[in-house]
Chains A and B, each alone.
Chain A
Amino acid sequence: MIEVQLQVNGAGVQYTVPDHTLLVEFLRQNCRLTGTHVGCDTSQCGACTVNLDGVAVKSCTILAAQASGGSVVTVEGLAAPEGKTLHPVQNAFVQCHGLQCGFCTPGMIMAVDFYLRKPPSLSEASICHALEGNICRCTGYVNIIESVRHAAREMYPELDAPGSGKS
């Protein structure tokens, strides 16, 4: 057993868990944050993507103990806790119909959140590269890619200016 301390969505949590506990298990079972999903067992699908210390990680691929001392943001913590305002990425997925069954969506959103933490390229190739680690079966990705662009334009209005990296 090992003691794991984390900041999760801004709040400190501490549990003693078996050494082999994955971060995703820690989040789902100990923290009861079930928005982070498990869609595979080979680190391919990305449904478990969370943000750890500013970087998008697949939480099935890291031990909770390795993350200990760090700060995690899950899909539950993405929007401002007060009020009803969605994060621009969450809102974009709603507006663009970027989800159907919703199972891959939290991981998608966390991957896109990371991609958009600095001014992004909105080219098809760049967006697809950013989404390479996330699998969706429902949408054909068409509206997910649209959601990325929609969120980016909301977060970086200057991207809509002529000649601003849309190529």
Chain B
Amino acid sequence: MIGKPIPRVEDRRFVTGQGNYTDDINIDGQAHAAFLRSPHAHAHLRSIDITAAAEAPGVLAVLLGQDYLDAGFRGVDHIPNPADAVISSQPAFLTSTTGAVFNQRHIPLPIDKVRYVGEAIAMVIAETPLQARNATELIDVDYDVIDAVVHGADAMQPQAPQLWDGAPGNLCFQTQIGDREAAQKIIADAFLVVRREFHNSRLVNCQMEPRSAIGCYDATAETYTLISGSQGAVRQKLCIAAALNVPPASLRVVCPDTGGGFGPRSFVYVEQIAVVWAARHVRRPVKWTSDRSEAFLSDYQGRDQIIRSAIGFSKEGRILAIDNEWIGNVGAHTVSYVPMSNGTRIMTTVYDVPVAAVHVSAVLTNTVPTAPYRGAGRPEATHVIERMLDLAALELRIERAELRRRNLVTRDKLPYRSPMGLTYDSGEFARNMERALELADWNGFPARRDLSSANGRLRGIGMANYIESPVGAPRERIEMTVLPEGVVDLVSGTQSTGQGHETTFAQVVAQYLGVPMSAVRLRTGDTAFVSIGGGSHSDRTMRLGGMLLVDTSTQIIAHGKQIAAALFHTTPECIDFAEGKFSHSASGQQVSLFDVAGHVASDGMPDNPSMKKLFAEAEFNGRVPAHPTGAAICELEVDPDTGIVTLLNYTSVDDVGQPINPLIVEGQVHGGLAQGIGQALSEGCYLDRDSGQVLTGSYMDYGMPRAGSVPPLRVELTEDPTSGNPLRVKGGGESGITPATATIFNALADALRPFGNDELAMPATPVVVWEFIHRKQGSAHVI
């Protein structure tokens, strides 16, 4: 079963309209919430008059931040500082030159001032959604508007408006990783120094399901229930229970079908806390569903990282040292520092770099908080080093692939410890690149360029190599119960937001237990039965969950052998297990896995008669050393008259480890690639740099990829086996996106070389490209 491109078993309900997303759920007696949101990026709240709103038709309550604190609740701790990529028991960022690493509890509705356009200020609960929404317009807020700052570098200026008292200079932390003095010294003496600043643009998550949440409160038991789609119910439960000042057992979080994750939905949103608070306040279930306009103003956003890179090269093109300055735009609340930890750790990627250092600043601005967005720092890091290599190749007059060849970590150096402290256990970096060059006919490009030139088009080709890091929540759990009626019941702490877990988990269990896939039942996303688990992000599901599926399957087989041995009056060593049956070759007796479960149900386990279930559990807390890696090449044409960029083809060679289901893995590559193409060419969250007003507030002005955005693809999966986990899983969720902007921007720079060597703004929309060609100043700026 493992390795087969099997259509997904969960699809039937989705294609027949039987999916069950949060907004599809209605609870008897529910009321509806709506939020008044700030029209200003930065303003003191002088006063808020709710009188008229409270008297409006159908209104049950109008709640403010002070009411929340008065109810005995506290702001949510997002735990922005993630587990370290290597030592997962400690945070990624231990020290800051500013003192402690800043972590501001996030009160659902602000008390003192608003800090970004779209921040929720007040919540109205009413009988209908429309009544609630209409009443928000009757709330009278007296704003004292103050200066705002939205650009990360602007926020570090001495005179910049300050967001939080606890973070002078708008710095959450500032830290140094690696030996910067040594790096700078080497760079100063290098044959060639390349310096460039890159602004990896801000993105809107745009998962297709608008966020939604239903809060319930049981006054008798004093317990809460939250129904809300997310990337992991357990994290939501722990963070929200802590904010509500109740033990975790007092909050049940139910996560039904979730319409896309991509990173930001791993974190708690204020509206999720607000609906359970409201439910207690009005003693009725309270439901809220975002509209898309709210999503553009309040869904945690991605990227917005500024990286100033300096790399010293030898005459022969060897990288001697890297010195990077990394400025991460955190937004207005401390939700996540993941992009900075992931990005800085991986920044030397697949290249053998003797010395590397990075200076990191996490900066608060008057913008929507940022969170991990597919790849989370790794696409940014890849973009920088791959662009720098192309720039160096031009200066050194070394062919671009050849320059990379001279710098790749060779197979014989594995396990290779990067200067940033990651250890790569496997990966044929050179072979992957050579295969991509071959598939893309890299050497035949000049002839194709001539053909395009003859048609008045500018043709370019670009490449990027990449590697991922095995990060994410380190803890995961699987429970497996074999039921006599022919079901293998799985409870998993991770859950799907579209990755097809019901299929891939069933494939693994079917393989190991020899049962049909249809016998496997996966239950996730409800803390009534899920106790531990980190959710879906960072390629972690099959890396950690798969390992635990193997572990629990192995335990089940061992238990089964004990029982079969008792039945056949022999010892477990004399029992074989194959194709779902335990057999005793000496006597020819056989018993199926499910019949064994039946014996356990009636007689209990041999060593524990009171244990009436054929059951296994396994838990893991740590890092699995698995590094997905690969290479990508893109060929494109630019129409110099319009600035329109047409991607002609895209080649991707991806080592995701052993693909459990190649159909699903390739789908992940496609989706990630589309997001990368979107970021490179059309998607940008544009804000007014002075006022902080949002200029891209809907699908009419935010450049989502459409059908046809992805060019003809050549995706080839390859594998250099990792020995770090029994399924040899590395991860496929981020392989498409990680090299995408680097590859496309290298191809664009190649196409536009006749017009100079400056860095194009991201996204390279037609107007950006046209202005580059026509040398006009003042191109569109993305913050």
Contacts and interface: CB of A to CB of B under 8 A. Distances in A.
Interface of A: 28, 33-42, 44-45, 47, 74-76, 78-79, 86, 90-91, 93-95, 97, 99-106, 109, 124-125, 127-128, 131-132, 134-145
A101 B209 contact: yes
Contacts of A145: 707
Interface residues of B, number: 56
Given A41-B291, A97-B664, A135-B706, 14 more contacts: A40-B698, A42-B292, A74-B17, A75-B16, A102-B14, A102-B259, A104-B208, A137-B208, A137-B704, A140-B672, A140-B674, A140-B736, A141-B706, A142-B670
Mostly, the B contact residues are loop
A47 B207 CA distance: 12
Nearest to B674: A140
B209 A39 contact: yes
Which residue of A34, A38, A95 has the most chain B CB atoms within 10 A of its CB atom?
A34
Contacts of B670: 139-143
B698 A47 contact: no
Contact of A45 (B11, B208, B258, B500): B208
Contact of B208 (A39, A78, A90, A143): A39
Contacts, number: 176
A109 B153 CA distance: 45
A37 B209 CA distance: 8
Contacts of B456: none
A16 B17 CA distance: 25
A125 B706 CA distance: 12
Contacts of B672: 140
A40 B11 CA distance: 23
Counting from the closest, the 10 A-B pairs by CB-CB distance are: A35-B17, A103-B259, A101-B498, A102-B14, A140-B674, A128-B708, A44-B699, A100-B498, A140-B670, A34-B24
B656 to A, nearest CB: 16
A125 to B, nearest CB: 8
B83 to A, nearest CB: 26
17 contacts: A35-B18, A35-B19, A40-B698, A40-B699, A42-B292, A42-B293, A42-B698, A45-B208, A99-B11, A100-B498, A102-B10, A102-B13, A103-B19, A137-B206, A140-B705, A141-B705, A142-B667
B206 A105 contact: no
Which residue of B10, B11, B207, B736 has the most chain A CB atoms within 10 A of its CB atom?
B11
Contacts of B170: none
Contacts of A128: 706-708
Given A86-B12, A99-B15, A142 B706 contact: no
B375 to A, nearest CB: 15
Interface string B246-258: 0000000000011
Contact of A38 (B13, B16, B23): B23
A125 B670 CA distance: 18
A138 B17 contact: no
A102 B12 CA distance: 10
Interface in B229-263: 257-262
B7 interface: yes
A127 B708 CA distance: 9
Given A33-B17, A35-B18, A40-B698, A138 B710 contact: no
B129 to A, nearest CB: 10
Nearest to B293: A41
A59 to B, nearest CB: 13
Contacts of A40: 291-292, 698-699
A140 B710 contact: yes
Interface string B387-430: 00000000000000000000000000000000000000000000
B691 interface: no
B499 interface: yes
B724 interface: no
B23 A139 contact: no
Contact of A35 (B8, B16, B206): B16
